[in-house]
Amino acid sequence: MKTTRLAFSLLFISLLTLSAQVLGGEQILIPQPPKLAATSYLLEDANSGKMLAEKNPDERLAPASLTKIMTVYVVFRELANGNLQLSDQVIVSKNAWKTPGSRMFIEVNKQVALEDLLKGIIIASGNDASVAVAEHVAGDEATFAQMMNQQAKRLGMKDTHYSNSTGLPAEEHYTTARDLAILTRALIKEFPEYYGWHSIQEFTYNKIKQHNRNKLLWRNKAVDGVKTGHTEEAGYCLVASAKRDDMRLISVVMGTRSESARAGETQALINYGFRFFETHRLYGANEKLTEARVWKGDTTELPLGLQEDLYVTIPRRQFKNLNATLDIDQLIIAPVEQAQPLGKLTITLSDEEIVQKPLTALQSVPEGNLFRRLYDRALLLLE
């Protein structure tokens, strides 16, 4: 492989001094993450996927109303695919109306706009609204749960299984902190036009005003979602997301002892992430990072880059210590397919590797004509 150094093209300004791990012989001091009074938790950067804190992230637990993150995700996908409209009128069944637990207070045989039901799920955590939506989308809740499980599998949520749309206790109904983070990241990325509903602080339906149970929406301006949950089995749970400048964090806290505890423990995680780390977008998807020589093709130069945006999350004030190295395949012979791996990009921080991504062809290169192939063959023999 041919190895070259790649200079970063963007200027970043860090504000805070850091401090407790050793990278490449240089000590970077950062305190350990807070230890929370929770059964399971994690904190990660939404863009880079960097895990900043964790405890039992793969333990299967009852999700309570955190289930509804998937409920609305399934509906959002149906909206995106043109199978539903926000203006659809949903007829409320007796089965939906009598669902126990938190409620939106819909009434039997009344028609309710799908948009109102979705807000009733997201803001008021309405179990009745969740069942009404499930029945409207899939005919019954059991079939809707199959759709939820299909999406969980597609997203790579390996330790999740849904039995209903509400999160009420049921057999074979479980998830993990890691899987909830995967789902939340997908929700935010795929549906920004709907994600804003998760930051609404109150919702009124049928002349009944209800407040969002996520107390951090009042306490922390950076927090803009996502969902609370509580049952006796699950304890008090909260999936939260917060955005400050260009950095977005996702936290999952499961199994705390009270409403105030889940909010306080989540706040501690978010504060830790913003205080001691920063996230940078280094390169964009399909951005040309270099060119490579192509032999026996209809062109001799091939742009190389990445298939996805590349973000890194690093300790604050360490951007100056990042380095990028390109390793390009020595011999690239046409035909070349777009997105074909032809090397690697390695990012190091103080000489320690923190991420490596395939360097890929940004366009296809078909074989050249007979003259080009014979000419390049002769040149290769001389090398």
Q: How far apart are CA 224 and CA 187, in angstroms?
A: 13
Which of 48, 65, 93, 241 is catalytic? The answer is: 65
Q: Quick one: angle between helices 141-155 and 67-80, nearest 10? A: 90
Respond yes or no: is residue 260 known to be catalytic: no
Residue 132 contacts by C-beta under 8 Å, 6 or more apart in sequence? Answer: 90, 92, 93, 96, 106, 112, 117
Amino acid, res. 370: L
Q: How far apart are CA 201 and CA 197, in angstroms?
A: 9
Closest CA to 324 of 345, 354, 297: 345
Amino acid, res. 70: M
Please say whether the beta carbons of 348 and 325 come within 8 A: yes
Q: How far apart are CA 152 and CA 97, in angstroms?
A: 27
Closest CA to 318 of 289, 285, 351, 342: 351
Distance of CA 212 to the CA centre of its chain: 22
3-state class (DSSP) for residue 242: strand
Tokens encoding 366: 């078909």
Respond yes or no: is residue 93 known to be catalytic: no
Question: CA angle 129-135-136, nearest 5°?
Answer: 90
Q: How far is CA 83 from CA 91, 93, 288, in A?
A: 17, 21, 38
Using left for φ > 0, alpha for ψ between -120 and 50, and beta otherwise, residue 343 falls in left
Q: How far is CA 175 from CA 44, 60, 69, 143, in A?
A: 17, 5, 12, 19
Which of 40, 93, 102, 125 is catalytic? The answer is: 125
Respond yes or no: is residue 65 known to be catalytic: yes
Q: How far apart are CA 238 and CA 348, in angstroms?
A: 34
Q: How far apart are CA 144 and CA 148, in angstroms?
A: 6
Which of 68, 119, 227, 296 is catalytic? The answer is: 68
Which residues are the active-site residues? Answer: 65, 68, 125
